[in-house]
Amino acid sequence: MIGITGSIAAYKIPFLIRLLKKEGAEVQVVMTPAARDFVTPLTLSVLSGNPVYTYPFDEDDGSWTSHVELGSRADVMLMAPVTAATLGKMANGIADNLLLTTYLSAKCPVFFAPAMDLDMYRHPATGENIKKLIGFGHTLIEPQVGELASGLTGAGRMEEPENIVKVLKDHFAKRRQFAGKKFLITAGPTYEAIDPVRFIGNHSSGKMGFALAEAAAEKGAEVTLIAGPVKLEITHPLVRRIDVASANEMYEMCKKYFPAADVTVMSAAVADFTPEEIAPQKIKKGDQPPEIKLKPTVDILRQLGREKDSGQVLVGFALETDNELENARLKLKNKNLDLIVLNSLKEQGAGFGVSTNKITIIDKNGKQTDYPLKSKKEVAEDILDRIAELI
């Protein structure tokens, strides 16, 4: 589906539709009222071979266009060109026309190709909106630097149709990469109960594991995501999410799903120790501070490493504060892993809570690859590229 908004770059969309049709795509256009001043619905309808929608309600025949149905039919939604105003509405959930209601109810991946004058593009509000949309998991098709309709030269020209088609083709090619493969991914912390109100936990946010689950699903994998207590949402239809709290619950679920998994990635920060006993009632303040006796949890990854057969790929994480490489190599060997992803708490922008990460991957043969600081989404792509080499 293509969503067109009121920018002069709309004149390029008929050409884009022709290119997409040549690639075998079915194209459905939804346009805002302002977009109709730049390109005619008739042209778009002839080229796409489908009716073009702008309004939810047709005054002539009284028919209603369901934005929910439009959104659910699409494999991808491409907003192009998207103006500063529509970017702002998308980022803030303002749905004041058919295109925006369709956008809000669409469950498919969204791509957006902004087009505007350079000062509008440079404005911090636009920057914030774009960041927010990327945060929603949408893909920015960056505008190019060039001559703009205002006569000024700078960033703001919508990407050329040929390149937009390339971005979409890459997306569909990637979507088939892990088709039919089963992934088991763990994420987040575990909570080890002390009494009904208290627990021992850690600072893991689960962002890395969720980014991995989302990225694997986008490449066609069927993902079972076992999540400790986190404040994250995931809606991809190929992700089955199972919430657990303790290390033991996580272990039980891993045992259940591991035998069928082609790839297992343990990115959860699993507690190494748990209270020997859980007090049945809230522990009261006494004269003496209470002593909490701990016992070790199962090392899930080590256990899976023992059970793994030759066709299965097993990936672990190592979070280290010192002797990083040495410790990571030891874990790789002791836990019988194919890859270990090392993140050091010493690196700025890596570790807990943040949206970025800086990793080193070591493989079974001892090959070490250092990656620069990237978003957790990009880091997930790097890890999956390495997994793809193994399956």
Beta-ladder partners of 182: 222
Which residues from 77-136 bind ligand CTP, rule CB under 6 A?
none
Nearer to ligand CTP, 81 or 351 (CB): 351
CA-to-CA separations, 291 to 191, 279, 348, in angstroms, rounded: 18, 12, 36
Sign of CA dihedral 327, 329, 330, 336: positive
Q: Which phi and psi angles does 333 have, rounded to 5°?
A: -75, -50
Cβ proximity to ligand CTP, 20 vs 266, nearer residue:
266
- CA dist list (Å): 239 to 114, 170, 213, 282: 30, 21, 7, 37
Segment lying near ligand CTP (by CB under 6 A), choices 38-46, 75-83, 313-321, 348-356: 313-321
Least gap, CB of 198 to ligand CTP (angstroms):
20
Mark whether 202 is an active-site residue: yes
Choosing from 185, 215, 270, 313, the residue that interacts with ligand CTP (CB under 6 A) is 270
Stretch that binds ligand CTP, among 211-219, 306-314, 317-325, 364-372 (CB under 6 A): 317-325
Rounded to an integer, what distance in angstroms lies between the CA atom of residue 204 and that of residue 178? 27
In the numeric block, which tokens belong to residue 321?
């504060």
Binding-site residue total for ligand CTP (CB under 6 A)? 14
Residue 129 or 190 having the CB closest to ligand CTP: 190
Residue 300 as a binder of ligand CTP (CB under 6 A): the answer is yes
In angstroms, rounded to a whole number, what is the distance separating the alpha carbons of residues 366 and 333? 10
Q: Which two tokens stand for residue 4?
A: 């067109």
Nearer to ligand CTP, 179 or 294 (CB): 294
- What is the distance between the alpha carbons of residues 324 and 345, in angstroms, rounded to a whole number? 10
Query: Closest approach of Cβ 385 to ligand CTP, in Å?
Result: 19
Write out the binding residues for ligand CTP, residues 248-267 only, by CB under 6 A. Answer: 266
Chain residues in the site for ligand CTP (CB under 6 A): 247, 266, 268, 270, 272, 297, 299-301, 316-319, 331
What is the set of active-site residues?
202
